[in-house]
């Protein structure tokens, strides 16, 4: 009985949460074997899953990610895809994308980032990508933002029928990097060039000082203060051309 209980525990995975270390795995991909996340130390990673090869929504997403790969790379971010299909299916699908598929003005798109083979769903289960309420054998459209120290910083899940918004994925990446670099928070719909939020005052004295400081801060109230952050300075610190 004890052996059975241990085996059952080995098969149980808790979905990674913000602040957790990204679960480790070794996997075969279309770009060779990877050790995750150790191979990407010092870089941000977007690990994302898709339901299946040779499906239209997934095809549109992979073309878009591949088209934007250099843009993400300039922001020190690598892309790693996953589905529960096999390696040969992955290779055939990516060749079909390059040779035959046109979408949204894109064609002849070559996917150069790794696409993980996950037939036994080992990685998908570790990352909570298999959600039985949606599908028992296909991964939902999960997006994990993992920082240079291998920590999960954000995650987004989409249902099978909904293609992802890539402007938002990139915006979130740049916003998190900006928060880290300049020790600020970013308000709703923030993009580089807009004002950022500073942390709430921790004492009455600081609150009073902020409310009277009109040089740099704009305070709606003691707890809600913003300040300008130059767009060029943000891009210079984060984007590497």
210 annotated as ligand-binding: no
In the structure, what pLDDT confidence band is assigned to residue 236 with cuts at 50, 70 and 90?
Answer: very high
The mean per-residue pLDDT over the stretch 157-179 comes to: 96
Residue appearing with tokens 């299909």: 85
Q: What is the largest CA-CA distance in the chain?
A: 70
Domain layout of the chain by residue ranges: 2-164, 183-238
Q: What does the block give as tokens for 61?
A: 């997403």
Angstrom distance (rounded) from CA 109 to CA 99: 8
pLDDT of residue 217: 84
- The three-state (H, E, C) secondary structure of the chain, written as one string: CHHHHHHHHHCCCCCCCCCCECCCEEEEEECEEEEECHHHCCCEEEEEECCCCCCHHHHHHHHHHHHHHHHHHHCCEEEEEEECCCHHHHHHHHHHHHHHCCECCECCCCCCCCEEECCCCHHHHHCCCCCCCCCCCCCCEEEEEECCCCEEEEEEEECCCCCCCHHHHHHHHHHHHHHHHHCCECCCCCCECECEECCCCCCHHHHHHHHHCCCCCEEEECCEEEECCCHHHHHHHHCCC
Percentage above 70 pLDDT, the chain: 87
Q: Judge whether residue 9 has pLDDT over 60.
A: no
What residues are paired with 116 via a beta bridge?
29, 82
Q: What does the block give as tokens for 100?
A: 């035959």
Q: Would strands 77-83 and 115-117 be described as parallel, antiparallel, or unpaired? A: parallel
Average pLDDT, the chain: 90
Q: Judge whether residue 30 has pLDDT over 60.
A: yes
Q: Judge whether residue 209 has pLDDT over 80.
A: no
Q: Judge whether residue 101 has pLDDT over 80.
A: yes
* pLDDT tens track for 39-59: 999 999 999 999 999 999 999
pLDDT of residue 2: 41
Instruction: Indicate if 183-238 has the same CATH topology as 2-164.
Output: no
The answer regarding whether domain 2-164 maps to CATH 1.20.120.80 reads no
Q: Judge whether residue 3 has pLDDT over 60.
A: no
Q: Judge whether residue 70 has pLDDT over 50.
A: yes
Q: Say which CATH superfamily domain 183-238 falls into.
A: Antioxidant, Horf6; Chain A, domain2 (3.30.1020.10)
Respond yes or no: is residue 204 known to be catalytic: no
């Amino acid at each position: 009985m004890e052996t059975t209980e241990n085996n059952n525990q080995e098969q149980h995975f808790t979905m990674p949460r913000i602040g957790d270390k990204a679960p480790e795995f070794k996997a075969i991909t279309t770009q060779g074997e990877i050790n995750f996340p150790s191979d990407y130390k010092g870089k941000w990673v977007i690990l994302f899953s898709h339901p299946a090869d040779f499906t239209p929504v997934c095809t549109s997403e992979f073309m878009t990610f591949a088209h934007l790969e250099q843009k993400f790379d300039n922001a020190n971010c690598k892309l790693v895809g996953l589905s529960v299909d096999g390696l040969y299916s992955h290779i055939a699908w990516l060749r079909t994308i390059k040779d035959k598929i046109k979408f949204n003005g894109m064609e002849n798109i070559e996917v150069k980032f790794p696409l993980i083979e996950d037939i036994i769903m080992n990685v998908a289960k570790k990352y909570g990508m298999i959600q039985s309420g949606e599908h028992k054998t296909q991964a939902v459209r999960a997006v994990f933002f993992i920082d240079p120290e291998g920590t999960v910083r954000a995650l987004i899940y989409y249902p099978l029928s909904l293609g992802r918004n890539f402007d938002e994925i990139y915006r979130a990446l740049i916003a998190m990097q900006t928060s880290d670099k300049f020790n600020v928070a970013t308000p709703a719909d923030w993009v580089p060039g807009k004002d950022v939020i500073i942390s709430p005052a921790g004492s009455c004295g600081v609150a009073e000082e902020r409310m009277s400081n009109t040089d740099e801060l704009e305070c709606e109230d003691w707890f809600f203060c913003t300040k300008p952050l130059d767009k060029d300075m943000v891009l210079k610190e984060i984007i590497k051309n």
